[in-house]
A and B are shown apart, each in its own frame.
Chain A
Amino acid sequence: MQREEIAELAVQKIADVLGVDATEVTEKTDLRRDFEVDSLELMEMGARLEQAFGIRLQVEDLVKMDTVGDAVTLLEIRLGVPA
């Protein structure tokens, strides 16, 4: 899976939690600053990403996500995509 594919699916899952169209979310989107995401919503995003990508994410990883790009990078690592 290439970064672009990961990003497209991750953006969709994150937008679902935010209740907005996927076009309103980019890798630069800052989850806390732009959408005031709280810890419960980060957990929900994590759950949806785990389901979509078939992997496990740690809560400590989730709380370190500031931007959607951070989430994509985290997924790349967990999916074992070579940098």
Chain B
Amino acid sequence: MKIKTRIFGEIEIEKDKLICFENGIIGFPDLKKFALIHDEEKENAFILWLQSMEEPDLALPVIDPLNVMDSYEPDVSEELFSVLGDLVKENTYILVTITVPQNVEDMAVNLKAPIVINTGNNKAVQVIVENDLPIKYKIYDIIKEKAGE
């Protein structure tokens, strides 16, 4: 299907790229349907986008946290994943959101509230982890280095 977006213009979304957050994302319970897309102009597309299907203006830049740190071990009560159906390790895809403020050097990822996707059924949930992880973990230097590779 085709949707009009603010950031990417009109884009074609394949059905298997649709991700459903049954409870929305934190603070935005009505944002339930997103499409996971990447910028096709870029070869090293380690930054992905969750484009809202309901609000064309809104898109969340996201990244696999292992791209910006060696290990990421969020401590989450397993029951919070019950909305994802049967979740097995091979189908677990973790992403964290990226914020890019006016000063780009302050760009950061939110390690405190990861998004967990069950790639088996494309259901997703955003949870707040129990361990003391930063809400703003600066990644400018890491991204710059990666982009130069």
A binds B: no
Residues of A within 8 A of B (CB): none
Residues of B within 8 A of A (CB): none
